[in-house]
Structures are given as C-alpha cells and as structure tokens.
A and B are shown apart, each in its own frame.
Chain A
Amino acid sequence: DTGVSQDPRHKITKRGQNVTFRCDPISEHNRLYWYRQTLGQGPEFLTYFQNEAQLEKSRLLSDRFSAERPKGSFSTLEIQRTEQGDSAMYLCASTKRGSSYNEQFFGPGTRLTVL
C-alpha cells in the first residue's frame, strides 16, 4: 500500500498523559498536513509542513501540541498533558506542491480517546 499511513490507529490514554502519533506520507509528497475531526464536524486544520519546515499552525494548536517532520519525511504529532477535550480523530494528509491541483491524500486517522 503506497498511501498515507498513520500509527497507531487507536489510542486510549488517561488524562494528563502524553501521546505521540506518527504519519508517513506518500513518498514523493513534500507537503504534509494534520487535521483534527470531532464527532459531527468536518476535519479542522491544525498545521502543515513543506518538507521539514512547519509553515503554519492553527490557533487550535495549543502549546500542549507539537509537531515535527525531521528530514521532510514522516511526521509526528505529540500532545502533552492530554485533556478529555483532545479526544478526536487525528488525520494526516499529504500532497505534492507544484502539482496542477491541490489534491490531498488522507490517511486512515488515529482515534484518540482520553479518559
């Protein structure tokens, strides 16, 4: 499967714990996005990278959230001191800058449950 992959698919944690998610984009894609989706809502933009540079962060991304993309390949999203409000589906997407259209390819998501 050469699509976007995410790991883990599900994560259950206790409030106050730290969690880290991983996203592996399609290999030739240089742009990588993180979105969060809660029940009954569409995905909401969190942050995006072009290669290894983090170019934009949403105000949704509090200081408990940090994302990295070392070497411009896979990316990690860490949430420190998780809160119940962090429970959501975290989606990763990738695309290739310079393509004729902005089609983002999505991963299956990581479902986070904070107890």
Chain B
Amino acid sequence: DAGITQSPRYKITETGRQVTLMCHQTWSHSYMFWYRQDLGHGLRLIYYSAAADITDKGEVPDGYVVSRSKTENFPLTLESATRSQTSVYFCASSELAGGSRNEQFFGPGTRLTVL
C-alpha cells in the first residue's frame, strides 16, 4: 500500500535548468495538488487537477507547468529554475473536492534547492 509517493526526495539544481518533480498515487483519487511550503508562508497551492487531462492554476503558478495524462501521476516541471523556487514541494490527493471525503493526503515532500 504505497499511497502517495514523490521523487526525488531531495534535489539540487542550478538556475536556468529544467527540473521535474514526480508524484504518484495508488488510490485512484480524482484530485491531485501541488503545494510549496516556505518559511513565513503557509502551504501555497501551485496547481491542481480534478481528473486526468484537467488542470488549473492555484495561487502561485508562475514558472511551473503540470500535466496529468494518467490519473495516478501528476508531475510538476520547473521550466527554468530560479533561486526563489527553492522550497519544499508537497504533492497531495483527495477523493473528492467536497464533503467528508475531501481530506487531502500528502506525499513526503521534495526538498528542492536552486543554486
């Protein structure tokens, strides 16, 4: 029972490089989310997806791209990494958007450092 996994767990990259963070869930949850967590800020939503091939922007989408060709995968790509994108990235999933089944389950996070 893997649940929701993220890879890599740690990544160091350089400014200007493209980086892809992977997220995989085994529950067949419809909804998937990408957040970043920084000191002084709460979790901030980058992008979310309601189903395969349906994605939408969150609060801080600039500089990021997502795709969802399969229900279980939701990769996040930093097209040209900047130092301000140094952060901890969490992927999450939920069964539904509302009601009692909207608990979000989080992956373990990816710590990204952009030099």
Decide if A and B are genuine partners: no
Interfacial residues, chain B to chain A (CB-CB below 8 A): none
